[in-house]
Chain A
Amino acid sequence: MASLPTTPDPRPISAEPDELRRATPHWLEVWNAFRLSIVALVSLGVLLLLAFAAAFAPWLAPYSPTEVNPMDILQGPSGLHWWGTDDLGRDIYSGALYGLRISMTVGAMAGLVAALLGTVIGALAGFLGGWIDALLMRFTDFVLTIPVLFLALVLIPVFGSSRLIVILVIGGLAWPSIARLVRAEFLKLRSEAFVEAARGYGARRFKLIFSEILPNTFDLVLVATALQIPAAILIEAGLSFLGVGDPEPRSLGLMLKDAYGLLGLAWWSAVFPGLVLSALAISLNLVADAFNDAVRGHE
């Protein structure tokens, strides 16, 4: 008993292959392309595991990450302290779990800031064109050349070291590649059939941007943002290592800074937090890369 739909699809029906492609379940295609790579699947598994560990850190950590224990200083890995303790007797495993939380939060939030800025700037440049486009792109190129860590190193102590400032500074410098991508996509989509059609119906400029073009750039923005997140995480860790990152006492970068002071005394204090940080950055980069191939590959 198949009943015919009574309301027609609001989008203009077109026989162009591009329109047909967008009608198929998109994310299933991306996933099918993604899962072909074993490296990508393993990385996704590692990433999910790390996300789980970060989310449930308070339940998984056997000790408080900051608890000083003078009786237990510089203990090597054991059943009591899986990853050993540092020179204040703090448990490395517990510290790394909480540090992972900070890294992931800062990375995700900085990514969000970059995605918002990049989308707005790219959309304006791509849609408005002309001298606004030229000016915005010149500015984008300029921001792209700013040494982020170097600038953050000076900006963060100036504005005061808080997590919000760290996120804003890192995210505020990570948007150029996203803006370029959104702009290119806008230039491409601007003249496509469904946008032309909406324009033909008399849709307003900003309505066009928001309801017709922007949704179609969503997957590309997501990929471009995903590619920026591991870099943001490494910058935060680097800043913490230099003493100006997230002020939380046990971030991965700060743990490595402390470990650096124990060079040759406690290898575990450097190896384990560094492994966690590396695993996070590597799995994020590999997942983002495979995701990128999957999204672009089927276009």
Chain B
Amino acid sequence: MSAVPRIVGTRLLQAVPLVVATIVVNFAIIHLAPGDPVTMMVGEGAVSADQMDTLRKSLGLDQPLYVQFFSYLKSVLQGDLGISYVYHQPVTEIIASRIPATLLLMGTTYVISTILGIVFGIVAALRPSSAQDRILMTVAILGYSVPTFWLGFLALMVFAVELGWAPISGMVDSGLAAGSWEYWLSVLRHLALPAAVLSLFYTGLIARLMRTSMLNSLRGDFIVTARAMGLSRWRVILRHAVPNAITPIVTVLGLQVGLMLSGAVLTETVFGWPGLGVLTVQAVAQRDYPLLLGMFLLTSVMVIIANVVTDLVYLAINPRLRGNG
């Protein structure tokens, strides 16, 4: 099995230039931006031109772009992403403080939508073109056609404003001791709506893909053979067809990591969820370059890592790809 470490090594090596390219591209893109960050920081006409120049110098913004880039690259490699113009705190600290919220929302969504999506996809594929298939697939399309931010908005109007069952925004009520029983209950109450809305979207997507994959799997020769060998229908489905159908879904789930960040941006904004999505929207509005660069780097690295991990998981569950060493 010497092929496995070699493939792992290749994948990791391929990721390195991507990460470097990302740093270059991010830097280039964001510095093409119109709008002067110093003006944004202090407000139009709030301080004299001299003071603006001093500020610009202290931030290194008077340097030529390539100087700014190399100092940026050097800092990134040292794990320093600079100081946010708006928060006046290290970017790494700000981002790190927002990661748990996004991870909680995305993780919950990921688990719910993967399980439901796979189950619905299997149920639909078992009797293609039947009523259950048509209904499930139409609902799945509805799930990913309705804009998540609008659905979240409606959910807020009904469950938070009218009925008062759910909180309007945030992740936890203030004044609760972190880690206490009440604290987690409050988090759960805040999490319910955004996670449900986001899950509906991804359940629809995954159910459709799982159905297609399951149909392909059920058509395979090995299924016919297994049935011909006298195995029961359910045994064939659960032991052979389903595992085979899930393999391509893994790739898709890996791709979803990036897409889910997109979904999280809108959902977090609607529900005032204090995660990376809201942070990014604010950073865009305030032209907080260091924070934006940091967010972008983090996102890109996450997507690249998700790709590598996906390849490896695919390799692990699909023995045919391992080769014979």
Residues of A within 8 A of B (CB): 39, 141-142, 144-150, 153-155, 157-160, 230, 234, 237-238, 241-244, 256, 259-260, 263-264, 267, 270-271, 274, 277-278, 281-282, 284-286, 289
Contacts and interface: CB of A to CB of B under 8 A. Distances in A.
Nearest to B281: A242
B30 A160 contact: no
A256 B153 contact: yes
Given A39-B138, A274-B150, A277-B150, A243 B285 contact: yes
Nearest to B276: A150
Interface of B: 18, 29-30, 32-35, 134, 137-138, 141-142, 144-147, 149-150, 153-154, 156-157, 161, 168, 254-255, 257-259, 261-263, 265-266, 269-270, 280-281, 284-285, 287, 292, 296, 299, 303, 306-307
B280 A274 contact: no
B265 A150 contact: yes
A260 B30 contact: no
Given A150-B280, A278-B146, A278-B147, A271 B154 contact: yes
**Residue among B33, B150, B168 having the largest count of chain A Cβ atoms under 10 Å:** B150
A158 B32 contact: yes
B147 A234 contact: yes
Contacts of A256: 147, 149-150, 153
A264 B161 contact: yes
A237 B147 contact: yes
Is chain A's binding surface mostly helix, strand, loop or mixed? helix
Contacts of B30: 154, 158
A282 B284 contact: no
B296 A154 contact: yes
B261 A150 contact: yes
Contact of A241 (B137, B255, B266, B292): B266
Contacts of B32: 158-159
A270 B296 contact: no
A282 B147 contact: no
A86 to B, nearest CB: 15
B235 to A, nearest CB: 30
B145 A278 contact: yes
Given A282-B142, A285-B145, A242 B154 contact: no
Given A149-B262, A154-B29, 11 more contacts: A146-B303, A147-B262, A149-B263, A150-B261, A242-B284, A243-B285, A256-B149, A256-B150, A277-B147, A282-B145, A282-B146
A153 B147 contact: no
Nearest to B168: A263
A157 B284 contact: yes
A277 B154 CA distance: 14
- Smallest CB-CB A-B distances: 10 pairs: A149-B262, A274-B150, A147-B258, A282-B145, A281-B145, A264-B161, A147-B262, A158-B33, A285-B145, A278-B146
Nearest to B259: A147
Contacts of A157: 33, 35, 284, 287
B284 A154 contact: yes
A252 to B, nearest CB: 9
Nearest to A157: B284
A274 B147 CA distance: 8
Given A145-B258, A147-B261, A242-B269, A230 B29 contact: no
Contacts of A141: 307
Nearest to A233: B147
Contacts of A154: 29-30, 280, 284, 292, 296
Contacts of A241: 149, 266, 269
A277 B153 CA distance: 14
B153 A274 contact: yes
Given A147-B258, A160-B34, A281 B299 contact: no
Contacts of B280: 150, 153-154
A244 B265 CA distance: 13
A274 B281 contact: no
Given A145-B307, A148-B262, A149-B266, A230 B145 contact: yes
A267 B257 CA distance: 33
B211 to A, nearest CB: 12
Given A256-B150, A286-B138, A142 B18 contact: yes
A150 B32 CA distance: 17
Contacts of B303: 145-147
A158 to B, nearest CB: 4
B23 to A, nearest CB: 15
Contacts of B281: 153, 242
Contacts of B153: 256, 259-260, 263, 270, 274
B161 A263 contact: yes
A283 B141 CA distance: 10
B265 A263 contact: no
Contacts of A267: 157
B167 to A, nearest CB: 13
A237 B153 CA distance: 14
12 contacts: A145-B303, A145-B306, A146-B303, A149-B263, A154-B280, A234-B145, A234-B147, A242-B266, A256-B153, A278-B145, A286-B145, A289-B141
